[in-house]
Structure 1
Amino acid sequence: MQAKDLPTVLHIAAVVHPHYPEHEDVFAERLALYPGGCLCLALHDDRVAGYVLSHPWHADAPPALDTLLQRVPVSAPAFYLHDMALLPEARGVGAAGRAMPLLATQAVAAGCRELALVAVNDSAGFWARQGFDARNVPALAAKLATYDAAARFMVRPL
């Protein structure tokens, strides 16, 4: 992902995650803080049809939705997948599955021990197929409720 991709990424976010809006500053900050964890999916015609925002982070403490980080921890046990969004035409072609090894490589290079995310939009089954398991962290209940009733905090060991 590059700064020039942000308008397209914001459009994809609005289409895929209309109930979880985030300001442009959140996307720009993630890209500035950890560019290696910000990826775009281009279709065969080079049109961006999906993206991933990810970065090292604290264990069992996903950042709140639509919140600036200020900085990425120098040493972090978790690699947080802040967002993965694919337009309908990019789904079902294995793009998300192909992104996982890239993200795992980023996480290992950053010294992280696990991948972590909040599954929304009833996506927990998809993430389970990618090797993630739900982790019950009672302190996250209020934060998860800001997403939706089905939101689940999930982790995958590296």
Structure 2
Amino acid sequence: MQWRAMRSEDIPAVKAMADEVHIAYPEDEAIFAERLSLFSEGCFLLEDVEGRPQGYLINHPWILGHIPPLNSLLMAIPEPASTHYIHDLALLEAARGCHHGARIVEDVAQLAADRGFSSVSLVAVNGSGAFWQRRSFRIYQDISLNDKLVSYGDGARYMIRDL
């Protein structure tokens, strides 16, 4: 399997994977299309040797300590942005346990560092906190985020990786 840049024709497959992997967090196809149009260099698709999509990662510049609402259009990348925000990482079952997630997270960290950012941030859901901690992310506690985290479900944690 190999990561490559996401293309607009990949959006239906990305939506299908999101629906399978993130059942409790449905998002419209327009959300994925907008993220790709706003920051294409932060959108990746994992393909198997036969070219079938097996996962994706979407990230974009954002404001540290802020959480974009689920299933909401951004309209624009904020200026100035202060972090690279991982909107979503999803891997189908066949791609799990093979370090594909770890590899793309390192690529995102390098992309953020190369662009002059000092952090990568995200909301960990579905008990994924341990995965992110192994990638050098730490839980960021801020009471002002609690209301927004509720929409991400029980156990959701805002996490940051310093670069």
User: TM (normalized to structure 1)?
Assistant: 0.97
- In structure 1, the residue matched to 2:63 is 58
- Distance between the aligned counterparts of 1:38 and 1:150, measured in 2? 26
- Counterpart among 133, 141, 145 of residue 146 in structure 2: 141
- Equivalent residue in structure 2 for 1:4, among 5, 9, 12: 9
CA distance in 2, matches of 1:151, 1:5: 28
CA distance in 1, matches of 2:102, 2:44: 14
Deviates more, 1:66-75 or 1:6-15: 66-75
Which residue number corresponds to residue 42 of structure 1? 47
1:18 corresponds to: 23
Residue 44 of structure 1 deviates from its aligned partner by 2.1
Counterpart code for 1:66: N
Read off the aligned partner of 1:136 and give its amino acid letter.
Q
Shift of 1:75: 3.0
Write the mapping of 1:1-158 to structure 2, written as runs, cut at 5 A: 1-158=6-163
CA RMSD of aligned residues (A): 0.9
Equivalent pairs: percent with the same residue? Answer: 41
Q: What is the aligned residue count?
A: 158
Runs of 5+ consecutive residues of structure 1 not aligned to the other structure: none
User: Unpaired segments of 5 or more residues in structure 2?
Assistant: 1-5
Q: Output the TM-score relative to the length of structure 2.
A: 0.94
